[in-house]
Structure 1
């Protein structure tokens, strides 16, 4: 279990209860529209609780992303594989509007994907993305992922694009 990853500008750490105010503000805001939000206070609480609990149930999970010089959370990035997911996913969400457009999601996602291949030993990695989440689509493509039209989606009743990340040996 790797509870901490470092990148040049970021620290990715296991989420904890202290992340609640930032998570709550994100999940209850229009910023969360690309992942099914905004949601109620209770649904926001359960969303963070699920992220924290994923670590205990799977031994890994999404990391809270912080800037190297601060423990204040700016988002979450990492491996995610709930019991009803068709495939192993690396996902991302930047909670802070001030952190957008600075390459933090890209930097954190690169580290998370490398970790999933090398440490978790995953055979496949996808990212499930709302078709209207253009920033997330652009990030997946920047990471080298290609849309997989034949892949199964987690919730067939909810529109979703599946982006498949290339294995390290397949990257140019």
Structure 2
């Protein structure tokens, strides 16, 4: 028997499908989580801790009614990463977060495309009136993506206690994207 999250939204962009996590996503996530590339999201982790972290991602959908989407190419193939609404217990604000699991996916605009769709979903169907992204100051690619999405540093905002941390606030939907 295969158990899946039901009644979760599926978002399609020009090149991507954003959907709730599935069992098939475990191995690509685990490969990312144990690698040095995961250092900006609490990694690297051993597989046991990666399993728990993946469960946390799935649990967000059950506990909050929303969660981070896994995104994959419409043309088929393995998941490329995760992106979307994130608000675990203890977080001071609702976040839009992103990770690219595969180094081959970098520099192709996938994270931007997924993040733009996730922001529209958060401010649209979810009814959010604000959202932030918490970013390690050493993560220059993530900072550049936040800025490209129109987010601005908010040095007065609280962050989840992970130091160092910069907070980027996303504007409400308008023309905010730099193409």
Q: TM-score range by the shorter chain?
A: over 0.9
The 2-side partners of 1:28 and 1:139 are apart by 24
Unaligned runs of 5+ in 2: 1-6
Number of the residue aligned with 1:25: 31
Paired residues of 2:69 and 2:82 also in contact (CA < 8 A): yes
The 1-side partners of 2:14 and 2:174 are apart by 23
1:128 alignment partner, SS class:
strand
The 2-side partners of 1:124 and 1:63 are apart by 19
What do the CA deviations read for 1:46-95 (whole angstroms, capped 9, x no partner)? 11111111101111100101000115111000000112110010000000
1:164 partnered with 2:169 = yes
Q: TM-score, normalised to structure 2's length?
A: 0.91
1:137 partnered with 2:135 = no
Paired residues of 2:84 and 2:118 also in contact (CA < 8 A): yes
What do the CA deviations read for 1:105-160 (whole angstroms, capped 9, x no partner)? 000000000110011011210000011111000000000000000000101x5211
1:163 alignment partner, SS class:
strand
Number of the residue aligned with 1:122: 128
Q: Cα offset for 1:2?
A: 4.3
The 1-side partners of 2:51 and 2:151 are apart by 31
The 2-side partners of 1:96 and 1:171 are apart by 27
User: Cα gap change, 1:122/1:115 in structure 2, threshold over 3 Å: closer, same or farther?
Assistant: same
1:109 alignment partner, SS class:
helix
Q: Cα offset for 1:15?
A: 0.3
What do the CA deviations read for 1:31-58 (whole angstroms, capped 9, x no partner)? 1011121111111111111111110111
Q: 2:64 aligns with which of 58, 73, 91?
A: 58
Unaligned runs of 5+ in 1: none
Q: TM-score, normalised to structure 1's length?
A: 0.95
The 2-side partners of 1:58 and 1:37 are apart by 24
1:81 partnered with 2:87 = yes
| Count of equivalent residues | 171
